[in-house]
Structure 1
Amino acid sequence: MNFKEAIKADLDIFVETEEFAEEVLIDGIKCKAQLMVHTADKSNRQNETFPGLHGEFTEIFFKTEPYLAEHKKLPHRGDITLINGKRYEVVKAEDELGLMHLILSSYRANKPRVGDRRVD
């Protein structure tokens, strides 16, 4: 067994639902994946380019093969993808020897508060 074959055999460990992963719906495909959500809220980090925007940054790891069998191409930076029905923009996408690693962003604007003026 060569190195790449050994890595491929070990991929199942990373997506084992009893240890690390969970069932996730990725662009309509049910996959076992590791999902980590990082929140950047108003109190700790804001997008300085677009003041008032804050949101979630999500990392997800899943096996490349099942996704490719259905979609024929992997996600790329700037693509829009759905994770469990929630819309994300792909910030970074890497196929790491058969394990897909995506960094996703989901921005939302501050909700208007009572007394805020609307600017048209």
Structure 2
Amino acid sequence: MNFKEQIEADLNIFFNPDEFGEDHSIDGKVVNVIVDNETLKSRNKKEYDGIVQADMLYFAKEEDLLKEPRPDGVQMFDGIPYIIFDAKLDDGVYEVILQANKN
């Protein structure tokens, strides 16, 4: 098994519903994601002086999302529209930060 294959195998462990993963509907597709609002809370406190900038942070495998999440775009998460505050891709995994649509 080469390095890339090993990383993919490790991701399957983390995103396993019996480990850290949870099924959520993203843009109408059921996707296994890892919601990490504790990291979001610490980032909001550290990077934004405690001013809440976002409502949710999750990780998803790139291959599982229907489209690339882009900042300021809209994403449906469990049937609720959110504004994408930030999205970063690293080694096949997106870190997506969502803000509630205040309109």
Aligned to 2:7: 7
Aligned to 1:102: 96
Taking the TM superposition and a 5 Å limit, the aligned residue runs for 1:60-99 are 60-67=58-65, 71=66, 73-99=67-93
- Aligned residue pairs total 94
Alpha-carbon distance in structure 1 between the residues aligned to 2:72 and 2:18: 32
Q: Is the 8 A contact 1:11 1:98 kept in 2?
A: no
More helix by share: 2
Structure label with greater radius of gyration: 1
When normalised by structure 1's length, the TM-score is: 0.66
**Which amino acid is the alignment partner of residue 23 of structure 2?**
E
SS of 2:55's equivalent in the other structure is strand
Identical positions, percent: 30
Alpha-carbon distance in structure 2 between the residues aligned to 1:32 and 1:89: 20
More strand by share: 1
When normalised by structure 2's length, the TM-score is: 0.75
Aligned to 1:52: none
SS of 2:70's equivalent in the other structure is coil
SS of 1:10's equivalent in the other structure is helix
**Aligned CA-pair RMSD:** 2.4
Deviation at 1:107, TM superposition (A): 5.2
Alpha-carbon distance in structure 1 between the residues aligned to 2:94 and 2:31: 12
